[in-house]
Amino acid sequence: MRMKMYLALALGLLSISLCINAKCDLTGQWQNDLGSNMTVYVDKNGLIVGKYRTAVSTTNKTILESPLVGYQQSSVLPTFGFTVMWQFTNVITVFTGQCFRNETGQVLQTTWLLREESSDAQHNWMQTRVGFNVFYQIP
């Protein structure tokens, strides 16, 4: 009986450790701390393609789902970068970050730069915003 308990415990610990040490992969559905959603596919070369629906906007325009493209490294906890070309405004956002694992699953820690268009080069200095988002995988 005690042997069976030890065996079950060992198997449990092994599966937790296998899960934590498994390769992070961006393929799947994600939601960030602002409530934005994205669906991503990563091919064998690390090319990322996907779509992004932001929950917030710098404009009053109707939010549209927008495409994203980028690259993911192939390491265990890979760094990545992708660009979202917004379909409802002349803004581009680039995200860069790293995929981590915790007890609940995969987490993406990102930093972004959002560039707004200006008709006047004098305004260049104030056209770029920076921020951070954490993405959690949707099962």
Integer angstrom CA distances of residue 44 from 26, 28, 41, 78 = 12, 15, 10, 14
Burial 36-64 (b: 16+ CB within 10 A, else e): bbbbbebeeeeebebebebeeeeeeeebe
- The single residue among 42, 91, 99, 108 that binds ligand BTN, judged by CB under 6 A, is 91
- The single residue among 29, 39, 89, 111 that binds ligand BTN, judged by CB under 6 A, is 89
When asked if residue 27 is in the footprint of ligand BTN (CB under 6 A), the reply is no
User: Which segment (15-23, 71-79, 89-97, 101-109) binds ligand BTN by CB under 6 A?
Assistant: 89-97
Pairing of the two strands 66-72 and 79-85:
antiparallel
Nearer to ligand BTN, 66 or 106 (CB): 66
- Look at residues 128, 105, 135 and name the one whose alpha carbon lies nearest to residue 39: 135
102: its two tokens: 């915790």
When asked if residue 32 is in the footprint of ligand BTN (CB under 6 A), the reply is yes
CA distance 3 to 17: 21
When asked if residue 110 is in the footprint of ligand BTN (CB under 6 A), the reply is no
When asked if residue 39 is in the footprint of ligand BTN (CB under 6 A), the reply is no
User: Which segment (20-28, 49-57, 74-82, 118-126) binds ligand BTN by CB under 6 A?
Assistant: 49-57
Residues that bind ligand BTN (CB under 6 A): 32, 34, 36, 54, 56-59, 86, 89, 91, 93, 112, 114, 131, 133
